[in-house]
């Protein structure tokens, strides 16, 4: 297509649908002109209404298309003039890299440029076209285009087109919370509360600006708190390092006398050893020398007996034969090993006393360490149900911990007893008969099933337990607690609800609790403060309170009787 020389002429001779020079221009009743093929394609979809792509005027009946003879002649004349006067500096094969204004990778290109796509500087939300610096001038010079809205270049123009009617969406439906076009507004969104997208954006921006200010203030507050926490962390690290250094020095001072005594005892033992061994070595040396002399005497006598000359034998034969009497080993003193055994026994007694001392004195030190709260809680203790609900947590049962006759719900928050055939019920109590070796039946005991929580608990937590059973035990304990009999050791705490009483059990001590008979129990844990409380959740009446020092993460456990149909459930408490 030949390029037009005048921007004004280009705007007049261009079709606003294809954005190219008019081909077979036709005019519709509102006065705007388009390519014959473009307007036919635009109206080819099944439409109830036919509108002008520029002024959006709606025609109930499809208008007749009449050829615009004036425009057709002008276009022909302009093309002929352009063919007679070619561009003095033609560039049939332009190099995009040679022009710094050309659109590069990732940049928005001008939709009007044909040979070299120049970098777009504006996008028109009415024309739905991006323009370079040259082609955007018409929007500043032509009166009809000055009303168009220009924005920064964007490639998201298709998001502004209605996928159903292929129209620009300039309206927002507040009822359905979607952007729509004019045809949507008079069709499927008829009667809905609508507003222009621009006005809706302004309202949303006001809300977002207010929210942004709140977030910025929150960010500033959080940053200040982070600085405070970092100061606390630095202080804790410094204090811990000082305490560790002092502990090392104190233990070194406690160990130093033991080390000194150990060195002294070892030195004395070595001295005793040297004296005893030296004496025995001297005696051993003397005996060896005496034995050597006697052996030489025997050898001399043997040689003399071998002589064949009587004269030589008589000459060499000793005249005085004397043999010193052998008295054997001297009497031995006390056994040195017995001395060493006495030292070992004395040290063993000392070790046992030291163990007893450490056993008695170490727990207070450990408790003193556990009682240190490096970051005291600034939150007040909850009083009302709404206060407790701030610490609500969701618990679920661990399938690995359930006993044989229990089944779990799909979300693992409810346990159900299938019923143990070996269990019989006497009155309101579920009991399991047992027989001793003689075949006689033992006293009746509770027959129960149990399961533990999957989650471990620390910090501040609140949850509730509901049940449909005659007997239920709601317990807290460490992982290594005696869960088969909740509350039987010092590592678990259990609230027991029986048909006739409410009891609390810890370390095998049962306490009868006065007050209401609960149908649902709320449990509140403040791990750091060492507080465990049981409430009647309907009225938030305190049933029992435990004050201790927790040293391990806690787990929740529920025990219910083995009667078929008995259930217990971890409830996530909410306000009614």
Per-residue pLDDT reduced to its tens digit, 23-68: 888 888 888 888 888 888 888 765 666 788 888 787 777 787 888 8
**Confidence (pLDDT) at 3:** 40
**Confidence (pLDDT) at 435:** 52
Q: Is residue 450 part of a domain?
A: yes
**Confidence (pLDDT) at 262:** 87
Percent pLDDT > 90 in the chain is: 18
CATH code, domain carrying 521:
2.60.120.920
Residues 396 and 299 in one domain: no
pLDDT band at 309 (very low <50, low <70, confident <90, very high): confident
Residues 399 and 346 in one domain: no
Residues 352 and 489 in one domain: no
Residues 419 and 523 in one domain: yes
Listed range (138-142, 160-164, 325-329, 534-538) with the worst mean pLDDT? 325-329
CATH code, domain carrying 7:
3.30.40.10
Residue whose tokens read 């070892």:
266
Q: Which tokens go with 501?
A: 């009483």
pLDDT at 164 over 60: yes
- Mean pLDDT, rounded, for 146-150: 81
Q: Is residue 430 part of a domain?
A: yes
Instruction: Note the pLDDT tens digit of each residue in 437-460.
Output: 555 544 445 578 899 999 999 889
Provide the CA 406 distance to its chain's centre, in angstroms: 31
Task: Please tell me which residue, 133 or 321, carries the higher pLDDT value.
Answer: 133
**Confidence (pLDDT) at 53:** 82
**Confidence (pLDDT) at 432:** 45
Convert 451-466 to b/e letters by CB count within 10 Å (16 or more is b). Answer: bbbbbebeebbbbbbb
Q: What is the dihedral of CA 288, 294, 297, 298, to 10 degrees?
A: -110
**Confidence (pLDDT) at 72:** 80
Query: Total structural domains in the chain?
Result: 3
Q: What is the distance between the alpha carbons of residues 422 and 236, in angstroms, rounded to a whole number? A: 58
570, 393 Cβ separation under 8 angstroms: no
- Structural domain including 288 reads 231-318+333-356
Q: Is the dihedral of CA 11, 16, 19, 20 positive or negative?
A: negative
- Mean pLDDT, rounded, for 278-299: 87
Residues 444 and 555 in one domain: yes
Instruction: Provide long-range contacts, Cβ within 8 A and 24+ apart, for 394-398.
Output: 394/463, 394/570, 394/572, 395/453, 395/454, 395/455, 395/463, 395/556, 395/570, 396/453, 396/454, 396/455, 396/570, 397/451, 397/452, 397/453, 397/454, 397/558, 397/570, 398/451, 398/452, 398/453, 398/454
How many helices (H) and strands (E) the chain has is answered by 10, 27
**Confidence (pLDDT) at 307:** 85
Domain closes at, from 53, 70, 85: 85
**Confidence (pLDDT) at 273:** 84
Q: Is residue 189 part of a domain?
A: no
Strand 429-432: give its sheet, edge to edge.
424-426, 429-432, 445-446
Partners of 320 in the beta sheet?
Answer: none
Partners of 118 in the beta sheet?
Answer: 102
- Mean pLDDT, rounded, for 298-308: 86
Q: Is residue 415 part of a domain?
A: yes
Domain closes at, from 61, 85, 109: 85
Residues 245 and 392 in one domain: no
3-state secondary structure of 97: helix
Residues 312 and 389 in one domain: no
3-state secondary structure of 236: helix
How far apart, in Å, are the Cα atoms of 576 and each of 97, 463, 521, 572? Answer: 70, 15, 16, 12
**Confidence (pLDDT) at 569:** 94
What residue spans of 181-332 are helical by DSSP H? 182-186, 197-305, 310-316
- Mean pLDDT, rounded, for 166-185: 86
Q: Which tokens go with 111?
A: 């939709």
Residue whose tokens read 């500033």:
220
The pair phi, psi for residue 523, each rounded to 5°, is -120, 125
Q: Is residue 181 part of a domain?
A: no
Q: Is residue 364 part of a domain?
A: no
How far apart, in Å, are the Cα atoms of 554 and each of 326, 385, 394, 452, 533? Answer: 82, 23, 15, 11, 14
- Mean pLDDT, rounded, for 101-116: 78
pLDDT band at 83 (very low <50, low <70, confident <90, very high): low
Q: Which tokens go with 209?
A: 């600006």
Domain closes at, from 52, 85, 118: 85
Residues 301 and 400 in one domain: no
495, 543 Cβ separation under 8 angstroms: yes
Using CB atoms within 10 Å of the CB of residue 331, give its burial: 0 to 12 exposed, 13 to 18 middle, 19+ buried. exposed
Q: What is the pTM of this model?
A: 0.40
Residue 293, C-beta contacts closer than 8 angstroms, at least 6 positions apart: none
Q: Is residue 169 part of a domain?
A: no
**Confidence (pLDDT) at 65:** 80
Chain-wide mean pLDDT for the chain? Answer: 81
**Confidence (pLDDT) at 280:** 87
pLDDT band at 512 (very low <50, low <70, confident <90, very high): very high
Residues 412 and 550 in one domain: yes
Q: What is the dihedral of CA 65, 69, 72, 74, to 10 degrees?
A: -140
Q: What is the distance between the alpha carbons of residues 485 and 492, in angstroms, rounded to a whole number? A: 9
Instruction: Note the pLDDT tens digit of each residue in 205-254.
Output: 888 898 889 899 989 988 998 998 898 888 888 888 888 888 888 888 88
Q: Which tokens go with 434?
A: 């047992």
25, 68 Cβ separation under 8 angstroms: yes
The pair phi, psi for residue 468, each rounded to 5°, is -130, 80
Residues 281 and 418 in one domain: no
Q: Is residue 453 part of a domain?
A: yes
Q: What is the distance between the alpha carbons of residues 434 and 440, in angstroms, rounded to a whole number? A: 8
pLDDT at 160 over 80: no
- Helix 197-305 × helix 336-371 angle, to 10°: 180
45, 53 Cβ separation under 8 angstroms: no
Convert 500-516 to b/e letters by CB count within 10 Å (16 or more is b). Answer: eebbbbbeeeeeebeee
pLDDT band at 372 (very low <50, low <70, confident <90, very high): low
133, 150 Cβ separation under 8 angstroms: no
Residues 477 and 434 in one domain: yes
Residues 294 and 402 in one domain: no
């Amino acid at each position: 297509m030949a390029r037009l020389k005048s921007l004004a002429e280009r705007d007049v001779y261009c079709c606003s649908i294809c954005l190219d020079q008019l081909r077979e221009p036709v005019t519709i009743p509102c006065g705007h002109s388009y390519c014959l093929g473009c307007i036919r394609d635009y109206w080819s979809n099944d439409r109830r209404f036919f509108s002008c792509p520029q002024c959006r005027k709606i025609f109930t009946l499809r208008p007749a298309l009449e050829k615009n003879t004036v425009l057709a002649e002008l276009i022909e004349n302009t093309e002929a003039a352009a063919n007679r006067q070619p561009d003095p500096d033609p560039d049939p094969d332009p190099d995009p890299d040679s022009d710094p204004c050309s659109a590069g990778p990732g940049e928005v290109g001008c939709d009007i440029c044909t040979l070299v796509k120049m970098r777009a500087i504006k996008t028109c939300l009415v024309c739905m076209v991006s323009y370079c610096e040259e082609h955007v001038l018409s929007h500043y010079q032509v009166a009809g285009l000055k009303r168009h809205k220009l924005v920064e270049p964007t490639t998201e123009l298709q998001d502004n087109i209605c996928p159903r009617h292929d129209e620009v969406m300039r309206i927002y439906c507040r009822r359905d919370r979607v952007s729509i076009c004019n045809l949507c507004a008079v069709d499927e969104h008829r009667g809905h509360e609508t507003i222009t997208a621009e006005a809706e954006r302004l309202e949303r921006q006001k809300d977002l600006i207010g929210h942004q200010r709140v977030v910025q203030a929150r960010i500033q507050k959080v940053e200040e708190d982070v600085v405070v926490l970092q100061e606390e962390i630095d202080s804790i690290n410094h204090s811990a390092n000082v305490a560790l250094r002092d502990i090392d020095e104190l233990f070194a001072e406690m160990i130093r006398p033991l080390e000194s005594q150990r060195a002294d005892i070892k030195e004395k033992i070595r001295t005793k050893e040297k004296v005893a061994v030296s004496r025995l070595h001297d005696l051993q040396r003397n005996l060896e020398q005496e034995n050597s002399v006697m052996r030489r005497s025997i050898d001399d006598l043997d040689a003399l007996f071998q002589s064949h000359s009587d004269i030589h034998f008589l000459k060499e034969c000793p005249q005085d034969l004397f043999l010193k009497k052998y008295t054997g080993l001297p009497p031995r003193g006390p056994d040195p090993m017995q001395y060493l055994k006495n030292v070992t026994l004395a040290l063993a007694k000392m070790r046992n006393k030291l163990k007893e001392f450490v056993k008695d004195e170490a727990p207070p030190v450990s408790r003193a360490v556990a009682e240190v709260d490096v970051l005291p809680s600034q939150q007040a203790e909850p009083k009302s149900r709404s206060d407790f609900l701030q610490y609500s947590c969701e618990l679920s049962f661990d399938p690995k911990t359930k006993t044989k006759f229990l089944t779990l719900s799909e979300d693992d928050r409810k346990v159900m007893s299938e019923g143990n055939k070996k269990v019989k019920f006497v009155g309101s109590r579920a009991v399991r008969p047992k027989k001793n070796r003689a075949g006689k039946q033992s006293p009746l005991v509770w027959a129960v099933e149990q399961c533990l929580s999957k989650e471990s608990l620390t910090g501040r937590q609140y949850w509730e337990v509901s049940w449909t059973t005659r007997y239920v035990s709601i317990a807290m304990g460490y992982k290594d607690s005696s869960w088969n009999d909740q509350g039987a050791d010092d590592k678990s705490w259990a609230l027991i609800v029986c048909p006739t009483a409410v009891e609390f059990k810890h370390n095998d001590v049962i306490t009868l609790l006065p007050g209401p008979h609960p149908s649902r129990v709320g449990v509140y844990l403040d791990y750091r403060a060492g507080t465990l409380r049981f409430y009647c959740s309907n009225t938030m009446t305190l049933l029992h309170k435990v004050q201790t020092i927790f040293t391990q993460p806690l787990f929740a456990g529920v025990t219910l009787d083995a009667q078929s149909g008995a259930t217990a459930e971890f409830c996530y408490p909410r306000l009614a």
